[in-house]
């Protein structure tokens, strides 16, 4: 599944590179210098600008992946709560409601205020994010800074969403109006909880819609905190609802609801298909999907800075412990530099600092939960059995929480499971190739098409590969660079639609054509 490490700019990747060069630490010593403790302020469902118990009275636990301890009991939404929240959202969207009556520029001001609140509370939000999903604390802060920028970017769009003037033959005049779709639901994953949630919230509100979010059951805490910030920023009741709960209950209730006009989902390809089906079985709600990936990263032998390419390639695979939809998990290296590249990759993996995600110098933290950890270890074992060479790592780390060693495989063959299946863990697979034509064919031999990269000094090769890779984003001599204004999304089974940039607005707007009969001549 998911997710661009959009927040991790090239600069950020390079910082990791520097850290790995200058801060050597003994691998597998997991250090907990800073205590993981955070006070959880919000645990209830949020709708109509108020906090509510679940109708069923049920709660579920959210735990800290770094040590497996419980952080809080969270109210668990299901269909009954979804139905109430949708009714209130519909009301908030009615013509004449407070939200529909606010000027577009004022909507922009509300979003700008929200961005300021993100920055005001960055330390606390980052602690909450790291405690709930195990992301490195510095990465959580980077995500929040980046996300504040995304909110501001969409704030700027509020009063710039325009239709067209269309010349018609005869006595007619036509204009198009861009109107909000209505009740928009967002179902988000656990790997970039704040970033994914806000990436949907901001354009949905900028276009004048109302928002109902269901965060992943593993990571509800920061979404609930964002609810409180939306209220503080001044969004009217009903405009923002946040309903933590499970996928097959709360998520499916949103996907099947007859009054939800739009659903935007980031998660697994498997669940993406269920969302499409639910749309077809209910009201044909509009669907945007950002799904899995198995992105190729191609290093040609002419590239003149092998250390840099190897470092970026390893970050591409292991950023956020590999829990990234566009992770560059398939590293293709041209034969002339292959052995040297594998050697550098081994050295880089050896020097990754593994430790508490709260520590500033940690480069590698826990996986999200025991289920994902089990899935990753199963795939690692399959790689070993199928004959790939373990260059580094390859094992579980024996301690509380959900830890897997950063793992590098070399001599990986295209038919192996680790070459084909999305691992969503800290596993880099290195393949050898000879020619451009061969590598492009192999890179595209996947059902996915989210990202890809090429490292070369030859502009012709770079352009040819960038044009030939079937993926929504191709990076040249970098990986995971991206801004609020650069569209992101998938070809093939990696998704439908684009997020970020102007393109994201189209996900949340309907085009209305207004045709007027006008007299040709004024008497
Ligand atoms: P992962 O396998 O990585 O946890 P999922 O695709 O299962 O990814 O989860 C992403 C989001 O989709 C989560 O918010 C989850 O609760 C939700 N989800 C899971 N199953 C369903 C479903 N059947 N209908 C709607 N949402 C779902």
pTM value surpassing 0.85: yes
The CATH fold of domain 293-476: Aldehyde Dehydrogenase; Chain A, domain 2 (3.40.309)
Kindly give the number of the ligand 1 atom that is closest to the alpha carbon of 245: 16
Q: Tell whether the model's pLDDT for residue 6 goes beyond 80.
A: no
333 DSSP β-pair partners: 299, 432
Question: Would you place residue 399 in the very low, low, confident or very high pLDDT band (cuts 50, 70, 90)?
Answer: confident
The catalytic residue among 127, 217, 290, 422 is 290
Question: Would you place residue 159 in the very low, low, confident or very high pLDDT band (cuts 50, 70, 90)?
Answer: very high
Question: Would you place residue 36 in the very low, low, confident or very high pLDDT band (cuts 50, 70, 90)?
Answer: low
Question: Would you place residue 30 in the very low, low, confident or very high pLDDT band (cuts 50, 70, 90)?
Answer: very low
Task: Please work out whether the CB of residue 255 comes within 6 Å of at least one atom of ligand 1.
Answer: yes
The catalytic residue among 325, 326, 405, 499 is 325
Q: Residues 306-324: what's their mean pLDDT?
A: 98
Greatest pairwise CA separation for the chain in angstroms: 90
Task: Please work out whether the CB of residue 280 comes within 6 Å of at least one atom of ligand 1.
Answer: no
Q: Tell whether the model's pLDDT for residue 8 goes beyond 70.
A: no
Kindly give the number of the ligand 1 atom that is closest to the alpha carbon of 254: 25
- Respond yes or no: is residue 325 known to be catalytic: yes
The residue among 106, 95, 283, 83 whose CA lies nearest residue 205 is 106
> Residue 302 and residue 334: Cα distance in Å, rounded?
9
Percentage of the chain with pLDDT > 90? 91
Kindly give the number of the ligand 1 atom that is closest to the alpha carbon of 268: 6
The model's pLDDT over 39-59, given as tens digits with 9 standing for 90+, comes to 999 999 999 999 999 999 999
45-291 has which CATH code? Answer: 3.40.605.10
Task: Please work out whether the CB of residue 324 comes within 6 Å of at least one atom of ligand 1.
Answer: no
- Residue 278 phi/psi, 5-degree rounding, is -60, -40
Going by their DSSP bridges, the two strands 183-187 and 407-410 should be labelled as unpaired
- Residue 186 phi/psi, 5-degree rounding, is -125, 125
> Residue 50 and residue 319: Cα distance in Å, rounded?
37
Our mutation pick for probing the ligand 1 site, out of 62, 189, 272, counting the most ligand atoms within 8 A of Cβ, is: 189
- Respond yes or no: is residue 290 known to be catalytic: yes
- For position 69, what pLDDT does the model report? 95
- DSSP string of 131-146? HHH---HHHHHHHHHH
The encoded tokens of residue 381 equal 């074992």
Our mutation pick for probing the ligand 1 site, out of 60, 271, 493, counting the most ligand atoms within 8 A of Cβ, is: 271
Do 161 and 492 contact (CB within 8 A), yes or no?
A: no
Note whether 45-291 and 293-476 share their fold: no
- For position 376, what pLDDT does the model report? 98
- For position 35, what pLDDT does the model report? 54
Our mutation pick for probing the ligand 1 site, out of 62, 242, 267, counting the most ligand atoms within 8 A of Cβ, is: 267
- For position 57, what pLDDT does the model report? 98
Nearest CA owner, ligand 1 atom 17: 247
- Domain extent listing, the chain: 45-291, 293-476
- For position 518, what pLDDT does the model report? 87
* End-to-end CA separation in angstroms for the chain: 65
> Residue 225 and residue 118: Cα distance in Å, rounded?
10
């Amino acid at each position: 599944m998911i997710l661009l490490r959009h927040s991790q700019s090239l600069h950020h990747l390079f910082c990791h590179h520097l850290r790995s060069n200058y801060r050597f630490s003994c691998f597998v010593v997991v250090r907990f210098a800073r205590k993981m403790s955070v006070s959880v302020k919000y645990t209830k469902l949020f709708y109509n600008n108020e906090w509510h118990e679940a109708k069923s009275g049920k709660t579920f636990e959210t735990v800290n992946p770094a040590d497996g301890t419980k952080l809080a009991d969270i109210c668990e939404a299901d269909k009954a709560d979804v139905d109430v929240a949708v009714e209130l959202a519909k009301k908030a969207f009615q013509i004449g409601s407070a939200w529909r009556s606010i000027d577009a520029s004022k909507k922009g001001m509300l979003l700008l205020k929200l961005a300021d609140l993100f920055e005001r509370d960055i330390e606390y939000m980052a602690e909450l994010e790291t405690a709930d999903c195990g992301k490195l604390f510095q990465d959580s802060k980077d995500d929040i800074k980046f996300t504040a920028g995304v909110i501001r970017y969409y704030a700027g769009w509020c009063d710039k969403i325009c239709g067209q003037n269309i010349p018609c033959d005869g006595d007619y005049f036509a204009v198009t109006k861009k109107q909000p779709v209505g009740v928009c639901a967002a179902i988000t994953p656990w790997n970039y909880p704040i970033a994914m949630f806000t990436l949907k919230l901001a354009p949905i509100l900028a276009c004048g819609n109302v928002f109902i979010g269901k965060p992943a059951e593993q990571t509800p805490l920061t979404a609930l905190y964002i609810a409180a910030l939306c209220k503080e920023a001044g969004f009217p009741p009903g405009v923002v609802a946040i309903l933590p709960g499970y996928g097959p209950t709360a998520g499916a209730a949103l996907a099947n609801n007859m009054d939800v006009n739009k659903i935007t989902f980031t998660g697994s390809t498997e669940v993406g298909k269920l969302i499409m089906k639910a749309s077809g079985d209910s009201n044909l709600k509009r669907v945007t999907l950002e799904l899995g990936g198995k992105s190729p990263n191609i290093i040609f032998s002419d590239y003149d800075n092998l250390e840099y390419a190897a470092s970026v390639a390893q970050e591409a695979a292991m950023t956020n412990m590999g829990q990234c939809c566009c992770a560059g998990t398939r590293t293709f290296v041209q034969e002339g530099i292959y052995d040297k590249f594998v050697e550098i990759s081994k050295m880089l993996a050896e020097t990754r600092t593994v430790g508490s995600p709260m520590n500033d110098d940690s480069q590698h933290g826990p996986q999200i939960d025991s289920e994902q950890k089990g899935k990753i270890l199963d795939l690692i074992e399959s790689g070993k059995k199928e004959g790939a060479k373990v260059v580094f790592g390859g094992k579980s780390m024996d301690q509380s929480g959900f830890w897997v060693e950063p793992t590098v495989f070399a001599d990986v063959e295209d038919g192996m499971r680790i070459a084909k299946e999305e691992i969503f863990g800290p596993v880099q697979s290195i393949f050898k190739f000879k020619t451009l034509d061969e590598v492009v064919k192999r890179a595209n031999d996947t059902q996915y098409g989210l990202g890809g990269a090429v490292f070369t000094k030859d502009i012709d090769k770079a352009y040819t590969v960038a044009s030939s890779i079937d993926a929504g984003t191709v990076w040249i001599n970098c990986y995971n660079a991206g801004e609020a204004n650069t569209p992101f999304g998938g070809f093939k089974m990696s998704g439908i639609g684009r997020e970020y940039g102007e393109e994201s607005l189209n996900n949340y707007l309907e085009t209305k054509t207004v045709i007027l009969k006008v007299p040709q001549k004024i008497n």
